[in-house]
Structure 1
Amino acid sequence: MKQRLYRVLALAMLLGFFADAGHADDHMLAETAVQAARVVVSPAGNATEEIQGSKANIMPVTSPVIITGDPEPIVPPPAHPLRVALDWYLTPYHAALIVARERGLFEREGLEVTLTQPADPTVPPKLVAAQHVELALTSQPRLHLLVDQGLPLIRVGTLVPLPLATLIVRQEANLQSLSDIRGKTVGYVFEEPARLLLDGILEKHALSSDDVELKRIDFGLNSSLAEAEVDAVVGAQRHVTRRQLEQSGIRVVEFPLGETDLPLYDELILIANRDSLQQHGSDIRRFLDALQQATLWLINHPDDAWELIRKAEPGLDTQANADAWPDTLRYLALRPAAVQAERYHRFETYLLQQGLIESLTPANRLATDITHP
């Protein structure tokens, strides 16, 4: 009898299921189907009583719901905001950032990246320390000095892994060699790194930064030389600044600071707040992935990359920057996340020996590869 009961229920449900979904009386049809099934299988007219007397509960049979119209669009998850303070106005050495932005690589990583240019070049690391931005650009030498001052900063990426800074001197200053720089006026952006670089390049000439007159000029490196406010500038970018000045008709001599006894260092790095690194670690890793993809593309497509950059940033579209572009490419970091910890240890040790910092900070508190656990 139970088997008969189950067959009745199955038949009733099937009849109800295949009822025309658009029929106005589909529920009545389903109920009729159940009653008809009871009568058909009842040999003595008492099947209904058996069903009613059983413990089975017959649920109402309804027709399937037909969904009409367009489906709701799938809304992507909100992008994670990431604020990045530049070290300077945009230059060709920021190429990976520009390409990643213009090719949508940040968005592909689920990031909403904002690049801001500082009104004061000394401010970006302080913004990171105060957690007003997640990342900032600076140089490795400056990072060491700022950490020694107590700022909770750590290197998380590199854009340029070799020294770029140069000492550029006006030809009218009549320097036959660097030994003639005594008493000259030298412009700088950051005083402590400027003294460090000058001491490194002047040491072989038995001179130091104390033998010149230092003048802070912030963003005015080129204009200060052009207007003869200074005889030289220290910290200018190799390949780019000299060409910009020569394009303006200013004849200069360039002394690369990388060819000194200073330990090798990373010229352009990304720094984060050490205390909040875990909180933003996932976003920073995706940011670095986007930079690596951008760098690979621009290395493989240098002409297309320059075309993209000059159109995206018309201020960079100068003959000097175009001429410097091939040299610029050779200095870009192919693996922005990778870190040479020994390089940070050597530079920290050098600063301590020179009396420029008070104590030795371990390399793992100065720099990290955030892509490795």
Structure 2
Amino acid sequence: MKAVLLRLACLLMMAGWGVGARAADVAPHRVNVVLDWFLNADHAALLAAQYSGSFARHGLEVHLIAPADPGAAPRMVAAGQADLAVSYQTQLGMLSEQGIPLVRVGTLIDTPLNALIAAGDIHSLADLKGKAIGISLAGADDAVLGTMLSTAGVAMADIHQVNVNFQLEQALMSHSVDAVMGAVRTYELIDLKLKGMRVTAFYPEEHGVPLNDELVFLAARDHIRDPWVRAFMAALEEGTNTLLNHPDDILSHAIADHPELDTPLNRAAWTQTLPRVAKQPALLNTRRYRAFTAFLHAHGVISHEAALETYAVDPFLLTP
């Protein structure tokens, strides 16, 4: 481990060469980032930006906060208790409709991670007719599930929907339900297989649901033009590149700081999550965002399609 950390220290030193040292008398700008969940492989780019010195080189002192409530992050930013929230694109339309002044300013994971996971002898979506399916979040999950089932000729009235809160894996393992909607393919799916369960995963984007970003950064609308937002996204892009070049070194450093990450599940999740990390975090795919908002509107999750710039921006394209 010492050898690995020494190699990483050399890497981090080299990463700082040629960037331009920040004046010693300029205090870094503190940025509090509330995560969507406990620290895990989804946050690898954030850890890499910390360990590579990217945040520091851009004049930022970044603090990562794991919330007690998985749904707390947007509320904390809206209340001024944090600067950025890691949240979900699927929630953006609903937040906007509720009048919560939050705007997407970047992306952490730019592919879907949610999946419909079934246990036992269910091998096709058609096999779910008459079965019990657990969900966590009404609204977007309903729209996604209904769309997926419809591609196999199964209606929502043909299944038994059960709200299992965020206990998706436990509900499936206890046989309380036959399948769960919204489980993460790079976490719960891996864990279920490691625990010996026979499961089948169905992916929304392969069954009629538009592609979307899984995890995004939300900032208060009044702060989206602040210089620290652009500095954060530039640093994150640099950190992501370091992560892709040296994933094992970043993981070793993360495990040294967070020993709870040193499990077969987290190591497997780290490997499977890397290809899904946004390479250009600030970049906004306007076509995809509009398509997903239209999808939510068509399925009654939101009552109208708000103008894109009211809920999602590329901070580098904004005038100061």
Q: Secondary structure of the residue that 1:236 maps to in structure 2?
A: strand
Alignment-mate amino acid for residue 165 of structure 1: N
Counterpart check, 1:82 vs 2:27: no
Alignment-mate amino acid for residue 133 of structure 1: A
Q: Secondary structure of the residue that 2:218 maps to in structure 1?
A: strand
8 Å CA contact retained: 1:342, 1:363: no
Alignment-mate amino acid for residue 156 of structure 1: V
Q: Separation in 2 of the partners of 1:268 and 1:205? A: 28
Q: Separation in 2 of the partners of 1:131 and 1:183? A: 46
Q: Separation in 1 of the partners of 2:112 and 2:164? A: 21
Residue 338 of structure 1 deviates from its aligned partner by: 0.7
8 Å CA contact retained: 1:121, 1:218: no
Alignment-mate amino acid for residue 200 of structure 1: T
Q: Which deviations, in whole Å up to 9, do the C-alpha atoms of 1:277-312 show, x marking residues without a partner?
A: 33xx21121111221111100111122223223333
Counterpart check, 1:291 vs 2:236: yes
Partner in structure 2 of residue 335 of structure 1: 280
8 Å CA contact retained: 1:292, 1:334: yes
Q: Which deviations, in whole Å up to 9, do the C-alpha atoms of 1:38-72 show, x marking residues without a partner?
A: xxxxxxxxxxxxxxxxxxxxxxxxxxxxxxxxxxx
Partner in structure 2 of residue 190 of structure 1: 137
Alignment-mate amino acid for residue 274 of structure 1: R
Larger Rg: 1
Distance 1:214 1:371, change over 3 A: same
Distance 1:200 1:102, change over 3 A: same
Partner in structure 2 of residue 112 of structure 1: 61
Q: TM-score, normalised by structure 2?
A: 0.85
Distance 1:360 1:303, change over 3 A: same
Partner in structure 2 of residue 368 of structure 1: 313
What's the % identity of the aligned pairs? 37
Residue 142 of structure 1 deviates from its aligned partner by: 1.1
8 Å CA contact retained: 1:102, 1:312: no
Q: Secondary structure of the residue that 2:106 maps to in structure 1?
A: strand
Counterpart check, 1:155 vs 2:104: yes
Q: Separation in 2 of the partners of 1:207 and 1:312? A: 47
Partner in structure 2 of residue 166 of structure 1: 115
8 Å CA contact retained: 2:143, 2:299: no
Distance 1:208 1:104, change over 3 A: farther
Residue 176 of structure 1 deviates from its aligned partner by: 4.1
Distance 1:284 1:221, change over 3 A: same
Q: Which deviations, in whole Å up to 9, do the C-alpha atoms of 1:80-121 show, x marking residues without a partner?
A: 221111112222121001222233332332222221122222
8 Å CA contact retained: 1:341, 1:364: no
Alignment-mate amino acid for residue 366 of structure 1: Y
Matches within 5 A, 1:48-67: none
Q: Secondary structure of the residue that 2:99 maps to in structure 1?
A: coil
Q: TM-score, normalised by structure 1?
A: 0.73
- Greater mean alpha carbon deviation, residues 226-235 or residues 292-301: 226-235
Structure 1: stretches of 5+ with no match in the other structure: 1-73
Q: Separation in 1 of the partners of 2:224 and 2:81? A: 14
- Greater mean alpha carbon deviation, residues 332-341 or residues 234-243: 234-243
Counterpart check, 1:103 vs 2:48: no
Give the one of 219, 222, 236 matched to 1:272: 219
Give the alignment's Cα RMSD to 1 decimal: 2.1
Residue 313 of structure 1 deviates from its aligned partner by: 2.5
Counterpart check, 1:326 vs 2:271: yes
- Greater mean alpha carbon deviation, residues 108-117 or residues 212-221: 212-221
Partner in structure 2 of residue 253 of structure 1: 200
Partner in structure 2 of residue 344 of structure 1: 289
Residue 209 of structure 1 deviates from its aligned partner by: 4.1
Distance 1:210 1:120, change over 3 A: farther
Distance 1:316 1:219, change over 3 A: farther
8 Å CA contact retained: 1:148, 1:357: yes
Partner in structure 1 of residue 127 of structure 2: 180
Q: Separation in 2 of the partners of 1:207 and 1:132? A: 44
Q: Separation in 1 of the partners of 2:158 and 2:236? A: 42
Q: Secondary structure of the residue that 1:191 maps to in structure 2?
A: coil
Give the one of 82, 97, 107 matched to 1:133: 82
Q: Separation in 1 of the partners of 2:161 and 2:63? A: 34
8 Å CA contact retained: 2:119, 2:200: yes
Alignment-mate amino acid for residue 284 of structure 1: V
Partner in structure 1 of residue 17 of structure 2: none
Structure 2: stretches of 5+ with no match in the other structure: 1-22
8 Å CA contact retained: 2:133, 2:159: yes
8 Å CA contact retained: 1:124, 1:136: yes
Residue 208 of structure 1 deviates from its aligned partner by: 4.1
Partner in structure 2 of residue 224 of structure 1: 171
Residue 140 of structure 1 deviates from its aligned partner by: 1.1
Alignment-mate amino acid for residue 73 of structure 2: P
Give the one of 110, 124, 133 matched to 2:73: 124
Residue 363 of structure 1 deviates from its aligned partner by: 1.4
8 Å CA contact retained: 1:84, 1:115: yes
